Amino acid sequence: MENKTIKAVFVNGGPRKKWNTYKMLESAMKGAQEAGAEVEVVNLYDIDFKGCKSCFACQLKNAKTDGVCAIRDDLRPVLEKTCEADVIVIGSPVYFSYPTGETRSFLERLIFPNFTYDYDEQGNRRRPIREKQTAMIFTMNIPEEAMGDWKYPVLLGTCEKQLKENFGHSETLYACNTYQFTDYSRYAMTVFKEEDKRQHRDAHWQTDLQNAYELGKQLVEKAKGE
């Protein structure tokens, strides 16, 4: 893979283009560029699309979809790019214990055409895994020590599990206790103390961004076989 240009697609599943999730993806993208990848970012909230429609066109015998969802809508070009990519990084804020609806719909459309129910007598998948380096980045309001109580490693971990099952590799990066607004006084959220949030951000945010940078860089290096 020494002479191959590594393509990396970064998918923002959050509605705010310049806030926590986007910033984490942006940092991961810089790491990927540093490692020599050709990069592109996609904002899902800019695209008119829905989740899987259960048409099963991608599961037909001798299907011609070739790993891309058969639905021809505005998401189709993005799915074609991810199909060609060597690295896919998907970021989402956590809303009520789950990724955003857009992120979930995107994952359905990305994964199912590369999934198969068809196995041979030895228990091997008839459709080979499309080797890609993938990752999820989650940003969330709750502190890291509360993740276990809310079952986040299990609930959010299903995304990593499905990506790994279909593309061979996946990992997850969390950014916890994020700073939500520039001015907390405008919102009815007395359960949070802005000063505590700010202190946590000042102490941890640059480390979160550096971790995202390293993630992007390492994924590209793995895609190169380094």
- CATH number at 7-224: 3.40.50.360
Two structure tokens written together for 57: 């066109």
pLDDT tens per residue across span 172-207: 999 999 998 888 889 998 888 889 999 999 999 999
| Neighbouring residues of 67: CB distance < 8 A, sequence distance ≥ 6 | 83, 113, 114, 130
Q: pLDDT (tens digit, 9 = 90+) per residue, 45-82?
A: 999 999 999 999 999 998 889 999 999 999 999 999 99
Residue 47's Cβ-side half-sphere holds a number of Cα atoms within 13 Å equal to 24
| Residue 1 reports pLDDT greater than 50 | no
Question: Using the 8-state DSSP alphabet, how is residue 135 labeled?
Answer: E
Pairing state between β 168-175 and 132-139: parallel
Amino acid code (one letter) for 10: F
Domains of the chain, by residue range, sit at: 7-224
In contact, 46 and 38? CB cutoff 8 Å: no
Residue 185, C-beta contacts closer than 8 angstroms, at least 6 positions apart: 194
Is 153 in a helix, a strand, or coil? helix
Structure letter (DSSP) for residue 10: E
